[in-house]
Amino acid sequence: MVIRMFEYGFKKGKENSKTDDNIRTLYFPNQKVIFFEENKNIDDVLNLKIVFPNDQNILYSVEVLKYWELTEEELIRKKMYPLIPLKLFSLRKELESAQRKNDILRINQLSIVAKDLATKLANESRNLFCDNEILGEDFHKMLLAIQNLIEYLNRNYFNDDKLEEEVITMTKSLYDPEVEKKGVEQGKKEKAIEIAKSLLDVLSVEVIAQKTGLTIEEVEKLK
């Protein structure tokens, strides 16, 4: 893995290289590698020692991000929004274990956990959309990722036809109303801005703000 990271970094470094005083300089990107499934043998840092013919050596290090140690709240705080749906994938290891033991009871319990987690992740995605942290397109993609992961878990472990149907219904009920509501709100805001622009030479900033519903700061920016 660390060699692949070095090869990628070297490739990007060449793209960003510059020549100054006849010296070519490569600028490596700031890299991290993400491991999704829990593994106690994974270190916090991947290291690669590069030794040159003149015995000059460099220690190349890549920080490791252990996904299983991050909660949904931490992913949101770090703005790692695309990784939120993958929390469902963290159930796979325990499901594999239950399947090997033919532990039907535990598999059924995890089916409920998966459904509840899918609902929680979908609601968190909706909140990000409502707070303008992600676009409608991103919101849709995150909900599709949740659906696809539930489908993967269901087809490989649960075999519950109702599970997929319930999750699809849940995500659709979140996406359609929220996107429509946001679109209406955006349309009203754009109309208010157009009205405010037409009144800038006629009324004071305070009066325009009062009549359009915009803030004084927003009207001043238009002016």
Which structural domain, as residue segments, surrounds residue 17? 2-68
- The answer to whether residues 206 and 173 belong to one domain is no
Question: pLDDT for 2-21, tens place per residue?
Answer: 999 999 999 999 998 988 88
Is position 84 within any domain? no
Is position 74 within any domain? no
Q: Is the pLDDT of residue 75 over 80?
A: yes
- The answer to whether residues 109 and 38 belong to one domain is no
The CB density around residue 87, as the number of other CB atoms within 10 Å, is 22
Question: pLDDT for 181-213, tens place per residue?
Answer: 666 566 667 777 888 888 888 788 888 888 788
Three-state secondary-structure class, residue 140: helix
- The answer to whether residues 194 and 177 belong to one domain is no
Domain count, the chain: 3
Both tokens of 147, joined, read 């659906």
Is position 77 within any domain? no
Torsion angle (degrees, nearest 10) of CA 123, 83, 100, 152: 70
- The answer to whether residues 207 and 159 belong to one domain is no
% pLDDT > 70, the chain? 94
